[in-house]
Amino acid sequence: MTDRETEEYYRKRAETYEEIYYRDQPDRRKEIDDEVIRVRELARDKSILELACGTGYWTKVMSETAREITSSDVSDEMLSIAKRKPAVAPVTFVQADMFNHVWPEVNFQVVAVGFWFSHQPRQEYDRFFDLISRPLVKDGSIWLIDNNPPAEGAGHELVRIDEFGNAYKRRYLKDGISYTILKNYFSETELRELFSPRFAIKRLTYGVYYWSMELGLR
């Protein structure tokens, strides 16, 4: 897999991406609804930087209580959908690779990243941790959410595991075209082991379908 392949997969999937939030599974839906409540409160009166905002599902949620939001994604297809959503707080959208764009340092009270960490190569975690730390004020919070295996359902075959322990899965679009993307899953214990050396774990919610975290700087 290359970064370009992952990017193309999500560009092609943009129009159907939000189906993940509305599948007919009440227990799965409840995990998302519970997180919406937590995120609204976390965002209240805050200046927020959202990375990998996708179609803007969480942008809209945070805008209901936030003071202002800067939301970014590399995909113009995703951003075009996000921009159509009604927002309460002012939202500035930025099309950018999160790692190559220069974000203002020590400028945001919340850094939010939804459903991206599972695509981050294990050998580059320090790079990601630096990225989400630099824009954050000293007493700010980092919010992450991502999938557990049951959220994926059946039909996502494992292609290989590389020398760093990254798992590569085959994904299919509705037209049958396949892509191989990096997709890692984590136990609750592993999440604590990965994040606790760099961050204070304010909250870790580990459900059947999703996990989410609120982190602070040490």
Ranges of each domain in the chain: 3-148+186-217
Phi and psi for 156 in degrees, rounded to 5? -110, 90
Task: Identify the pLDDT of residue 2.
Answer: 45
Q: Provide the pLDDT for residue 175.
A: 87
Output the pLDDT for position 3: 66
- Could you say which residues of the chain have pLDDT below 70? 1-3, 153-156
Class of domain 3-148+186-217: alpha beta
Angle at 36 between CA 35 and CA 38, to 5 degrees: 60
